Chain A
Amino acid sequence: MTVTTTAHVQRPPAEVRYADELARLRAADDAPTPPGWALSLRAARAFIVGDEKLGVTRKFVGDPSLIDRALVSLATSRGLLLVGDPGTAKSLLSELLAAAVSGDSTLTIQGGAATTEDQIKYSWNYALLVAEGPTERSLVPAPLLRGMAHGQVVRFEEITRCPLEVQDCLLSPLSDRVLAVPELPGDGGMVFAKEGFNIIATANTRDRGVNDMSSALKRRFNFETVFPIADFDTELSLVEAEAGTLLRRSGVTTPPRRDVLEVLVTAFRELRAGRTARGDEMERLSSVMSTAEAVSVAHAVGLRGWFLRGDAGTAADLVSCLAGTAAKDSPEDLAKLRRYLEQHTSWRNGPQWRELRDARRELPGG
């Protein structure tokens, strides 16, 4: 079932996408490797922040110290919990970390309201269970059990969307590093975690936050907050590159206009932070103004421009797309967006801002 080739797969896991980079890193790796790890800490770090000499690309735009802390957490006896706003690339980071540490990022539990312990720990092949009773053959291991048995990193996405009692089944695997399978007789009843096992969980701060987590479980995780990209130019380049790729894939041949993207990224950053470049404080939008959303708005702007008129998309298109993507269906957000366009566009220089202001009536209900 393991994916080994990129052919016909929509999105192969990180260890397959970057197999050659991982191989080069492994070959050049001369630093001590923590027990059970596929790479040394330094090589794992280089895999994520990039290493020009080895031809390893930078895969995560963010503070390098965050990666350092995350890797060190994984090498210690605590789990790693990545928290942050939606769209800050937490899941990508957890995938990259798992690929670097264990060479396998597919031991993933997707948290949700309906997640049960079966999906986390193990369940049974009922036909075999009835025929043979509880044996290791009839046991169907879920990611946690497999990770512990093989010494690998287990990813737990959106952990706080699980019910509290389900989350708490991680307590003894994290602290005692053991999972009991009481149905199995003899030694098989206790699965002791092999070296290399740890958990990377992600949680977003918008949905339910981490307040719903028991403090016992909190204590067993090191928290790392992932922030939106701090640097304007970095975010702009990222949006430009990603939107460009998406547009090419959609058959649009003109690249997005840089000045329109500048306006877009500025507006997103200001609405996200609740503060303009000049320092005016305003309410944040309740919808998520992540870089990922900015990319999808840029994509939509490009599509509109190209397929409706044959140009690269204008600031006026931006207004229409913002309404749908950023404000979603919330009338409050729409009102906030309108106020922003009314009051915080006039004092800026540049024709694209004027264009944006003139197009503010495009907002629904304007």
Chain B
Amino acid sequence: MSLTVIGVRHHSPACARLVGSTITALRPAFVLIEGPADMNARIGELLLGHELPVAVFTSYLDEQRRHGSWAPFCAYSPEWEALRAGRECGAELRFIDLPAWHEAFADRDNRYADAELRYAEAVQRLCTEFGVDNSDALWDHVVEMGPAEQVGQRLETYFDLIRGDSAAGTSDTAREAYMARWIRAAQVAAGDRPVVAVVGGFHRPALLRLASPAGSPATAPSASSASSPSSPATAPSAPSGSSPSSPASPIGGAAGDPGVGDPGEPGWPEVPEPPTGATAGSYLVPYSFRRLDAFGGYQSGMPSPEYYQQLWESGAEQAARYLITAVAARLRRRGQPVSTADLIAARAGAEALARLRGHDCPSRVDVLDGLASALINEALDVPLPWAVRGTVTAGQHPAVVEMTAALSGDRVGRLHPDTPLPPLVHAATAELERYGLDRAGEHTTDLTDPYGRTVSRVLHRLRVLEIPGFRRDSGPATGIDPVLREQWTVQQHPHRLAALIEAGGYGPTLESAAATRIAQRIDDAGGDLGAIADALFDAALCGVTDLGSDVPDRLERGIAVAGDLAVLGRVLAVTLALWRHDRLLGTAGSAALGVVVAAAARRILWLAEGWHAPGAPADRERIAAVVAVRDAVLHAAGLGVDRTAAVEISGRIAADRAAPPELRGAFYGLGRSLLDEDDPAGLFPEPSEAVRGAFTGGAAGDWLAGLFGVAREHVLAPGGILRLLDDLVGGLGADDFLIALPALRQAFEYFPPRERETIAEELLARRGLGGSGRDLLRMSVAPQTVAAGLALDEAVEERLARAGLITVGRTDD
């Protein structure tokens, strides 16, 4: 019984080659692969003959946690090569890792991420030692570009160095213990025949230790019975039965290899069952190179799938040539000039770099560096993406964008037609039938009625998943729309099934799929607040309250880069309303919305303080943003909206001569209303003083618009500023008054008609005049006539004054 454990890096052509040749040479009884053990009964599904890349998608749902993760395979995945070569030589295939829904994967979206990145220190040391920028360049240098003969040995050394003496984290320890149990069982079952295990290189040293006979006292008793692979013992946990949401299992089992997945056999580890009340399911979905390349940070695996596909298919020389040709073609298609001289320089540069770095032919980074030297003749704004490791960020040079796109490739996988349909298709069909939505026609849903709301949610989830044939004709457009009914048109559409299969990658039920899709939209939105707001509103309409644990962080990041005060204000107002009140859509108190409220309030305060435009006319939307902040401070203090900070910032903006007048007024109002009368630091002068200051500035109307928009109670309150305003307006010259008039009108529009009437009455009373204030608000003649009358008065007064008959400029009070 010989055991060969091949430690690989996932998605590495060199490792895949090693796996293929080792399995072909050893012809083992068992090929054990790091992969979800709950798929063992359905390994046959993987081997139906798909166009790669494909992935096993696993979703998990319980009351606390929702999780979806992928195990992607491409042609040059060592795991895939193990499946292929193992089947070719008749070995039995087993996945030996914990299921993807297991707690050990709770923070992972990509099963085949690079484990060693979590232990970065050793990697960093090696990079410095070899003088390379990052772990990808290091890997190419040590493994992919090295001579093929001793690749196994180099891999062992590499991973031993990385693993070093560092203890693995708890999740890695749990996985290693589980995988070791499978290896021990397989060794027993194989008898004298060899066993090959293909696992992440990071786990290899631990697995060798754990799987050695000394580490497995339990193997001996079960050795005799383990040789019959088809023991009919009752399965403690048949994977096919473990997931109620995966009706595909029986079909997959039928297509599988004989003898695969007999977890009931003595000695074989049991496959963990999802806890009671939880739903977990795994199924195959088509994948794409673009998504393979899009994992970032700890989730990432090897970048540049198209390059490695070329490397796998036709070797390093060809791959380098492909890269230069592809980049040049892409750039020329985009109209960027790429001269022959540039290409010669790029090629020569790549060759020279390869020689300098000790490669036989140019590696990925050599070619990229050569291209960058030759094609970029400008200063770059951000470092080259292959030097810092990570996804392409904004601000990249167009040539760099094309280079990374060419490396990434646009291959999209396709499943074999016999692949069992993902559970979403069945779930969606069942829901459509249940609510009578499977026939074409028009539907009206009443959001106040629980049944109508359920139907509406089903339809919205389909809409969010972009399943064709479901169109909403009318309904609420924002969170504070008083529309309570929706009109839908349902049509039979030829692409409905295909769309549902594709959407199956997002989750097994409409709800979980819609949640994943919305979370992805939030991720894609970046700093586009409109898109974020739409996504959140869609989440409310779909009845999705929990978008996943990392969405609040992403929302916060998205809002932290937003730059438009007006849009932020709208978003804050709507989210705050949804967060405070909305029981209809069930969003009141939602955590995601709470995050948006706090982050948006903070961002508005930051942006407002930096806004410098002393003479700018008043902007209602900016005032509305301040109003939204006021409401957030008053009603959402528990979310982390900092009242003290808001007051301090208000004080600074109100006093800042460079700020636009309406913001100064609005923040003056905000500060006063937050502090009430309690202003020990003297941040805010008395209203009378502040108003006088505004009138001397010449932008009184704009300033007042800001104040009235946020805190108009100061005008009508006893001892308010109405008298003062009256004096100041009365003191304006006729020309000045006409200039100030539009802004003043705008300012007083913040008063509802009833309050305007009160103001009018007070003004009348002040002048000792009788009559109704309401009449004063209605003008019976055109404004032009009034203006002409005013001008006439002015002219007459002027002449009288010139003749010495009156003195102007004094109001007799």
B345 within 8 A of partner (CB): yes
Q: Which residue of B lies closest to A205 (CB)?
A: B379
Q: Which of the segments B321-329, B407-415, B490-498, B555-563 contacts the partner chain?
A: B555-563
Cβ of A281: which chain B residues have Cβ within 8 Å of it?
527, 560-561, 563
A65 to B133, CA, bound (A): 6
Tally the A-B contacts, defined by beta carbons under 8 Å.
109
Is the CB–CB distance between B561 and A72 below 8 Å?
A: no
Residues of A33-53 contacting chain B, CB below 8 A: 41-42, 45, 49
Distance, CA A260 to CA B349, complexed state (A): 44
Which residues does chain B contribute within 8 Å of A78, judged by CB atoms? 345
CB distance from A263 to the nearest CB of B (A): 20
Considering the complex, give the chain B residue whose CB is closest to the CB of A213: B377
Determine the chain A residues whose CB is within 8 A of the CB of B605 once the complex forms.
343
Q: Determine the distance from Cα of A205 to Cα of B373 in the docked complex, in whole angstroms.
A: 18
Residues of A within 8 A of B602 (CB): 280, 343
Q: Are A230 and B388 in contact (CB under 8 A)?
A: yes
Complex alpha-carbon distance, A225 and B131, angstroms: 19
Name the distance in Å between B759's Cβ and chain A's nearest Cβ: 38
A73 CB, nearest partner CB in chain B, Å: 6
> Which one of B356, B372, B527, B603 lies within 8 Å of A71 (CB-CB)?
B356
Docked Cα-Cα span, A73 to B373, in Å, equals 8
User: Is the C-beta of B812 less than 8 angstroms from some C-beta in chain A?
Assistant: no
B357 at interface by CB-CB < 8 Å = yes
Report the minimum CB–CB distance from B202 to chain A (whole Å): 23
- Interface residues in B642-656 (C-beta closer than 8 Å to A): 642, 645, 648-649, 652
Report the minimum CB–CB distance from A159 to chain B (whole Å).
13
- How many chain A residues sit at the interface, stated as a range, is 35 or more
B interface bracket (residues with beta carbon within 8 Å of A)? 35 or more
B132 on the interface (CB 8 Å rule)? yes
Q: Which residues from chain B contact A224 at a C-beta distance below 8 Å?
A: 373
Within 8 A of B (CB), among A79-106: 83-84
Complex Cα distance A222/B375, Å? 8
* Chain A residues, Cβ within 8 Å of B380: 223, 225, 227
Cα A275 to Cα B133 with chains together (Å): 24
Cβ of A221 within 8 Å of any chain B Cβ, yes or no, is yes
Query: In the bound complex, do residue B649 and residue A279 qualify as a contact, i.e. CB atoms below 8 Å apart?
Result: no
B365 at the interface (CB under 8 A from A): yes
Instruction: Identify the closest chain B residue to A283 (Cβ).
Output: B610
Interface string of A90-125 (1 = CB under 8 A from B): 000000000000000000000000000000000000
Which residues of chain B from 95 to 138 have a CB within 8 Å of any chain A CB? 131-133, 137
Describe B's contact surface by its main secondary structure. Answer: helix
Task: Give every chain A residue within 8 A of B383 (Cβ-Cβ).
Answer: 63, 225, 227, 230
User: B377 contacts A221, CB within 8 Å?
Assistant: yes
Please name all residues of chain A whose beta carbon is closer than 8 Å to the beta carbon of B379 when the two chains form the complex: 83-84, 203, 205, 209-210, 223, 225
In the complex, whether B378 has a CB less than 8 A from a CB of chain A is: yes
Residue numbers in B under 8 Å from A65 (CB-CB): 132-133, 137, 365, 369, 387
Task: Tell me which residues from 209 to 257 in chain A have a Cβ below 8 Å from any Cβ of chain B.
Answer: 209-210, 218-219, 221-225, 227, 230
Find residues 46-82 in chain B having any chain A CB closer than 8 Å to their own CB: none
Q: Chain A, 260-277, contact with B by CB distance < 8 Å: what is the 0/1 string?
A: 000000000000000110
Residues of chain B contacted by A84 (CB below 8 angstroms):
379
Known: A64-B131, A69-B349, A72-B356. Is A280-B365 also a contact (CB below 8 A)?
Answer: no
Q: How far is the CB of A79 from chain B (nearest CB, A)?
A: 11
Contact of A219 (CB < 8 Å), options: B132, B377, B561, B652: B377
Contacting residue for A279 out of B353, B378, B388, B556, CB 8 A: B556
CA–CA, A73 and B356, complex, Å = 12
State the Cβ distance, A88 to closest chain B Cβ, in Å.
Answer: 11
Name the residue on B nearest A204 (C-beta). B379
What does the 1/0 interface line of B286-324 toward A look like (CB < 8 Å)? 000000000000000000000000000000000000000
The contact of B378 among A42, A69, A73, A210, by CB within 8 Å, is A210
A342 within 8 A of B: yes
Residues on A with beta carbons closer than 8 Å to the beta carbon of B648: 342
B610 — which chain A residues lie within 8 A by C-beta? 282-283, 336, 339
Docked Cα-Cα span, A166 to B665, in Å, equals 55
**Whole-angstrom CA separation of A203 from B377 in the bound complex:** 13
Docked complex Cα distance between A68 and B357 (Å): 8
Q: In the complex, which residues of chain A have a beta carbon less than 8 angstroms from the beta carbon of B131?
A: 45, 49, 64
Residue numbers in B under 8 Å from A83 (CB-CB): 379
B377 near A218: Cβ-Cβ < 8 Å: yes
Q: Which residues of B contact A76 (CB under 8 A)?
A: 345, 348-349, 352
| Residue of chain B at shortest CB distance from A281 | B561
Q: Does B374 contact A (CB under 8 A)?
A: yes
Q: What is the CB-to-nearest-CB distance from A314 to chain B, in angstroms, rounded to a whole number? A: 23
Contact of A72 among B353, B557, B563, B609 (CB under 8 A): B353
The yes or no answer to A289 lying at the interface (CB within 8 A) is no
Using known A-B contacts A69-B349, A223-B378, A280-B606, determine if residue A63 contacts B387 with beta carbons closer than 8 Å: yes
A75 at the interface (CB under 8 A from B): yes
Interface residues of B in 337-372 (CB under 8 A from A): 345, 348-349, 352-353, 355-357, 365, 369-370, 372
| C-alpha spacing A76/B349, complex, angstroms | 8
Residues of B within 8 A of A278 (CB): 556, 560
**A65-B133, A68-B369, A73-B373 in contact; A343/B352 too (CB < 8 A)?**
no
> Which single residue of chain B is at the shortest CB-CB distance from A65?
B133
A346 at the interface (CB under 8 A from B): yes
* Residue B376 lies at the interface, judged by CB distance under 8 Å to chain A: yes
Please tell me if the beta carbons of A346 and B642 are within 8 angstroms of each other in the complex. yes
Q: Can you name 20 extra interface pairs (CB under 8 A) apart from A72-B352, A76-B349? A: A41-B355, A41-B356, A45-B356, A49-B131, A63-B387, A65-B365, A68-B369, A69-B373, A75-B352, A218-B377, A222-B374, A223-B376, A225-B380, A227-B380, A275-B561, A280-B560, A280-B603, A281-B527, A281-B561, A343-B602
Q: List 16 A-B contacts (CB under 8 A).
A: A41-B356, A64-B131, A69-B353, A69-B369, A69-B372, A71-B356, A75-B352, A203-B379, A205-B379, A222-B349, A227-B383, A279-B557, A281-B561, A281-B563, A339-B606, A342-B652
Chain B residues with CB under 8 Å of chain A are: 131-133, 137, 345, 348-349, 352-353, 355-357, 365, 369-370, 372-374, 376-380, 383, 387-388, 527, 556-557, 560-561, 563, 602-603, 605-606, 609-610, 642, 645, 648-649, 652
